[in-house]
Structure 1
Amino acid sequence: MTATIKDIAKAVGVNPSTVSRVINGTASISEETKEKINQAMKDLDYHPNSLARSLVNGSTFTIGLVIDAGNKDAFSNAFFIQSVIAIETAAQARGFSVLITNHSFSDSNNIKNLVQERKVDGIILPVQCMTDELVDLMIGNKFPFVVMGEPQENKDKITWVDVNNEEGSREAVECLIRSSYKNPMLLVENRQTIFEANRIKGFEDACRSKKIKTYSTHTFSENKIEKIIEEINSGERDTDSFICSNNIIAFKVLRAIKAQKMSVPMDIGVITFDNYPLAEYMEPALSVVDVDTYKMGETAAELLFKSIRGKEKKIKSMLVSTRIIERDSTKRKN
């Protein structure tokens, strides 16, 4: 026979209303009582009726997570997966489920339906999926949402969370200086994105503050990097280290250096953004600017739940700190 709220209340010795408040999180109950009620629910295999909860609370107990439908590699991306795990963990801790939905710029009706029909209580939206139309829709409907990634526009109208890319570049420069490198180069993939622009700014600010006279930034291409490393090898260029914007660039830099029969880290130092799972297994092991995407997902979820509960009405922007993990690719002997 299926257990009821009355069965839980009888087992713990409290009123059924107390059990209901614990399940719905609608009142302050002592931790001791909560633990007893939660344990009784486990012992009696009690499962709350989600439809009844929704009707009572006016809540779906579900949040939406939008993914980029055009990015077929999204679920193979270790960093994206870490954010999803963090969001799911935060939701479960609050008794919520996560509904994942696709987005494409040609058709955003699925997101519109979630908002207008209140099928979810709030949405987490990657910045690459953000459009003026969607922002206006959610603001107009007073619908809770958080953007993951720093937007280029409407920053004062929305709550967003991103990695502190300026800080990451500054820390990378300082790491290279500590290892006696003097003339770094930053290699980026696309200068037009705001996160790359922030990395460039952090890099250039750090070089100026450290009084580094010879530093440069380039948009990466294999032909260009091969030519640059040839020039380093011939003495035409005094660059002695690279900061790479991702692991693919770093791998190709390592390969080009090896082709010139030069040594990492003795001749050239290499550090990359993102602690990709294979970074420490490359030859040599790559020093990295570790980007905590789990923390970014967790922070986005926390801000969304505050907004859903009405406890956070101000627009907020938050940056998640980076950290350096130093490995063999920058450990030059002085």
Structure 2
Amino acid sequence: MKITMKDIAKLSGTSQSTVSRVLNNDKRISKETFDKVKKVVDEVQFKPNVSAQKLVSGKTKTIGLVINVNNQEEFSNVFITRSIFAIEKRIQEQGYDLLLLNYDEKNREQFKELIFQNKVDGVILPSSLLSEQILLMLTESKTEFVLMGEPDINNSSITWADIDNLKSSEKAISFLSKYNLDNYLMIIEDKEKKFNRNRIKGFEEFSKKNKLSYKIIEEKKQGLEEIIINNCLNTSTGIIAGNNFIAQKIIKILNSNKIKIGNNIKLITFDNYPLAEYLIPPVTAIDIDTINLGTTVASYLLEKIETGTKNNYNAYISSSLILRESTGD
């Protein structure tokens, strides 16, 4: 015999609406009532009709993650894939599904349909994708949203979380400066990206304050091999690489020129994942906690959806330093 919500209500001495609220984790239900209904649900191994629950609650129990898969550099980035994993894990704990939506100018109407027809309860999107146009659509549709990354748009009504790139950069250069090296290099892929601008700021401010000799290099625009040789041959140099792949290139150049890493040349990379510990030598890393980032943005959005709060949050996720042979540790 199939058990229904009406049966659960009768067995627990409550109403069907109360049972529905318990099944939807409604915070208005007292702990005593919640526990009483939950006990009956567990005893009879009741499996609620998900479609019916959605109809009653007015919620889709779906969160949209909006990305631009045409931006292969961003979508293939380990940073975003690990964060997606954390987002999905967090929302599934609360009974939500994740809907991945590709956004570009060609399918703008699909995005509008998603939010204006209430096909999701809220959306998460990378700050790099946020434009005034998208912000206007989200506002007009009254869609709850949270950004993954600090936005360039200055708007206090936007909730976001990001890695504390400025402090992470300070942490790296502060550690290297203890060795009293002759030169300090920061080698990144793109100066215009928000997270790199913050990293540059932390590196530059610390270097100026402590009167260090430093350079900031865009890996794609300048001759990397020539710069590495000129700054690492017959001198002591601390290098901060923007990611594991840049660190890998630096190691290759140093090895091919028989310049030893770990003594006079010390190397730190942003991100511990995916290569830092497997490179030769293993590379000291600023461990960027992308799992925590994904969990944080998902938690912020869930709170907005489930409580209706109009509060907005901004958070910087701290990083840690993992010491390895590339700095002589």
Matches within 5 A, 1:141-180: 141-180=141-180
- Judge conservation of contact 1:104–1:129 (CA < 8 Å) in 2: no
- Judge conservation of contact 2:287–2:321 (CA < 8 Å) in 1: yes
TM superposition shift of 1:281:
0.9
Matches within 5 A, 1:64-143: 64-72=64-72, 77-143=77-143
Unaligned stretches of 5+ residues in structure 2: none
Matches within 5 A, 1:250-329: 250-329=247-326
Secondary structure, in 3 states, of the residue corresponding to 2:106? coil
Secondary structure, in 3 states, of the residue corresponding to 1:106? helix
Distance 2:35 2:83 in 1: 29
Compared CA separation, residues 327 and 155, structure 1 to 2 (3 A)? farther
- Judge conservation of contact 1:183–1:212 (CA < 8 Å) in 2: no
TM-score (norm 2): 0.90
Across the two proteins, how many residue pairs are aligned to each other? 328
- Judge conservation of contact 1:179–1:331 (CA < 8 Å) in 2: no
- Judge conservation of contact 1:64–1:122 (CA < 8 Å) in 2: yes
- Judge conservation of contact 1:9–1:19 (CA < 8 Å) in 2: yes
Q: CA RMSD in A?
A: 2.5
Unaligned stretches of 5+ residues in structure 1: none
Matching residue of 1:225: 224
TM superposition shift of 1:253:
0.5
TM superposition shift of 1:73:
6.6
Compared CA separation, residues 37 and 184, structure 1 to 2 (3 A)? farther
Cα shift readout 1:179-220 (whole Å, capped 9, x = no counterpart): 5545311111111111111100010112233x1331111111
- Judge conservation of contact 1:188–1:218 (CA < 8 Å) in 2: yes
Distance 1:165 1:327 in 2: 21
TM superposition shift of 1:149:
1.4
Matching residue of 1:4: 4
- Judge conservation of contact 2:138–2:144 (CA < 8 Å) in 1: yes
Distance 2:232 2:54 in 1: 67
Q: Which amino acid aligns with 1:115?
A: I
Identity of aligned residues (%): 36
Distance 1:81 1:40 in 2: 40
Moved more, 149-158 or 181-190: 149-158
Distance 1:119 1:178 in 2: 54
Compared CA separation, residues 52 and 185, structure 1 to 2 (3 A)? same
- Judge conservation of contact 1:229–1:256 (CA < 8 Å) in 2: yes
Matching residue of 1:184: 184
Q: Which amino acid aligns with 2:203?
A: F
TM superposition shift of 1:174:
1.7
Distance 1:231 1:134 in 2: 46
TM superposition shift of 1:45:
4.0
Secondary structure, in 3 states, of the residue corresponding to 1:203? helix
Distance 2:182 2:269 in 1: 17
Q: Which amino acid aligns with 1:282?
A: L
Distance 1:51 1:127 in 2: 33
Distance 2:256 2:219 in 1: 18
Distance 1:194 1:167 in 2: 14
- Judge conservation of contact 1:184–1:216 (CA < 8 Å) in 2: yes
TM superposition shift of 1:148:
0.9
Cα shift readout 1:48-70 (whole Å, capped 9, x = no counterpart): 22222222222111111112120
- Judge conservation of contact 1:244–1:271 (CA < 8 Å) in 2: yes
Q: Which amino acid aligns with 1:117?
A: Q
- Judge conservation of contact 2:287–2:322 (CA < 8 Å) in 1: yes
Compared CA separation, residues 121 and 286, structure 1 to 2 (3 A)? same
TM superposition shift of 1:131:
2.3
TM-score (norm 1): 0.88
Moved more, 269-278 or 41-50: 41-50
Compared CA separation, residues 234 and 72, structure 1 to 2 (3 A)? closer
